[in-house]
Amino acid sequence: MAHAEESAEEPWHTLHANQVLSRLDTGWEGLTEEEATLRLRRFGPNGVPTEEKARPATILVRQVKSPLVYILLAASAAALALQKYVDASVILVVVVLNSVVGFVQEFKAEQAMKALAESLAPRARVLRDGVERGIDARLVAPGDLVLLESGVRVPADLRLLRAFDLQIDESILTGESVPVVKHPQAMHDPSAPLADRINMVFSGTSVVRGRGAGVVVATGLQTAFGQISAQVRLAGEVESPLQLRLSRFARLIAGLVLAVTILVFGLGLGIGVSLPDILLTAVATAVATVPEGLPVTITVALAVGVWRMARRKAIIRKLPAVETLGSCTVICSDKTGTLTKNEMTVTSIHAGGRLYRVTGSGYAPVGEILADQEKVQLKEHPELELTLRIGMLANESSLYLEDGD
């Protein structure tokens, strides 16, 4: 994952379009397929490293990484050493049950996340050999000419070559909620901050309005978003409030068990009880103090929350994450469909004083226009035909079949 070389004296935003193309050894018709393949081998795929998929053994080990579970295992070992096999077995059953419930849930979530990531692989429209093509965004290489239109996500860092009423949502990168108007003219300030480079568009941002075209100057970890992602990965994982409270509670229980055990042992020695009986009593007291049912109770409660979310088509990857949603008091959401599925379907048309019903949904080119439950012939409805023609001319989308469709 790399980017094309950029000199410190001449950043991309200070160069004119032809200078950018010359430095990247590309042209207005984009790269050839052969050159794009060579650059992909040189720079690597256009993407940031994702979190390594957890193996089943890793998920299983994660279930017992809890202070409460450690206490239960210690109590079970102590009971086993004193030949209290029933007590030891009960505690181990609790630990196993807790681990199995957590393992099953996290393993299923991992598989679902993997399938979802594969189904939502980002795409990009590029010019290759002068021909417009839709490709996997990971196959975009430095020097590729990328086409932009409203609604698409920018696949890499681009230096704009053309722009028509182009506005980009850069909130994911700069935090600015207002879309930024872009233009392709070269800038004079080489030290302009990222948010002010209005002839650049950055990976991960979205096109709100208009059209444009830009040449790829950075991919993968060398993009602005990729560098932020690399820094975030260094931060490591943070425990949830529930996990922190359980850790504090486990330390409290451990201290209480230790104090009770020492107290019982001391009292036993004081009244002359034999050493084996003292040890047996102390261990029994310690085992009784440990809340064996707490870990499995918490796990089952979280699992129930996960299952309820799953029935509503929401994937929870790790059990403690349910607590985040449970702690919410206000949820703000946008209208369904446009954001959640990236689809908006026309269901009715009013033209010429008449209402028409439209069937079909989503991206599938299947459906009919009905008037009084009968299929419409456009030649017999000139107002409807004019409305559809206006909609087509004002629309920036295109419909085409790809290999395998």
Looking at residue 33, which CATH number applies to its domain?
Answer: 2.70.150.10
Do residues 161 and 35 share a domain? yes
* The token pair that represents 398 in the structure block: 């295109």
Query: Is 95 within a domain?
Result: no
Query: Is 144 within a domain?
Result: yes
The length of the chain, given as a count of residues: 405
- Of 320, 258, 211, which Cα lies nearest the Cα of 74? 258
Residue 230 has pLDDT above 60, yes or no: yes
Do residues 41 and 184 share a domain? yes
Per-residue confidence band for 356, with pLDDT thresholds at 50, 70 and 90 = very high
Do residues 214 and 353 share a domain? no
Question: What is the domain range of residue 197?
Answer: 12-46+140-231
Q: Residue 277 burial by CB count (10 A; 0-12/13-18/19+): exposed, middle or buried?
A: exposed
What is the rounded average pLDDT for all residues in the chain? 78
**Tell me: the pLDDT tens digits for 124-170?**
899 998 888 888 888 899 999 999 998 888 999 999 999 998 999 88
Residue 117 has pLDDT above 60, yes or no: no
Considering only residues 3 and 355, tell me which one the structure prediction assigns the higher pLDDT: 355
Do residues 24 and 150 share a domain? yes
> What pLDDT does residue 118 have?
52
> What pLDDT does residue 248 have?
82
Do residues 207 and 352 share a domain? no
Chain centre to alpha carbon of residue 121: 11
* Residue in this structure with the two tokens 């480079």, named with its chain if needed: 197
Do residues 211 and 359 share a domain? no
Query: Is 287 within a domain?
Result: no
* The token pair that represents 304 in the structure block: 């129930």
* The token pair that represents 16 in the structure block: 């004119």
> What pLDDT does residue 189 have?
84
Q: Residue 331: helix, strand or coil by DSSP?
A: coil
Residue 31 has pLDDT above 50, yes or no: yes
Range 236-247 average pLDDT: 71
Query: Is 145 within a domain?
Result: yes
Range 351-366 average pLDDT: 85
Do residues 225 and 367 share a domain? no
* Residue in this structure with the two tokens 């870990």, named with its chain if needed: 295
Chain centre to alpha carbon of residue 374: 45
Query: Is 378 within a domain?
Result: yes
Query: Is 352 within a domain?
Result: yes
- Looking at 202, 231, 260, which one is the last position of a domain? 231
- Per the CB < 8 A criterion, the answer to whether 390 and 361 are in contact is no
Looking at the annotation, which residues are catalytic? 334
Query: Is 364 within a domain?
Result: yes
Q: Residue 367: helix, strand or coil by DSSP?
A: coil
**Tell me: the pLDDT tens digits for 73-103?**
777 777 777 677 777 787 778 778 777 777 7
* Residue in this structure with the two tokens 């299923």, named with its chain if needed: 108
- Looking at 183, 204, 231, which one is the last position of a domain? 231
- Looking at 231, 263, 288, which one is the last position of a domain? 231
State how far the alpha carbon of 133 is from the alpha carbons of 22, 65, 129, 381, in Å.
23, 49, 10, 36
* Residue in this structure with the two tokens 């504090």, named with its chain if needed: 248
> What pLDDT does residue 120 have?
44
Residue 296 has pLDDT above 70, yes or no: no
Considering only residues 328 and 348, tell me which one the structure prediction assigns the higher pLDDT: 348
248: left (phi > 0), else alpha (psi -120 to 50), else beta? Answer: alpha
- Which long-range contacts does 311-320 make (Cβ < 8 Å, 24+ apart)? 315/109, 315/112, 315/113, 315/116, 316/105, 316/109, 317/106, 317/109, 317/110, 317/113, 318/106, 318/109, 319/102, 319/105, 319/106, 320/240, 320/242, 320/243
Range 99-128 average pLDDT: 70
Range 6-11 average pLDDT: 60
Count of domains observed in the chain:
2
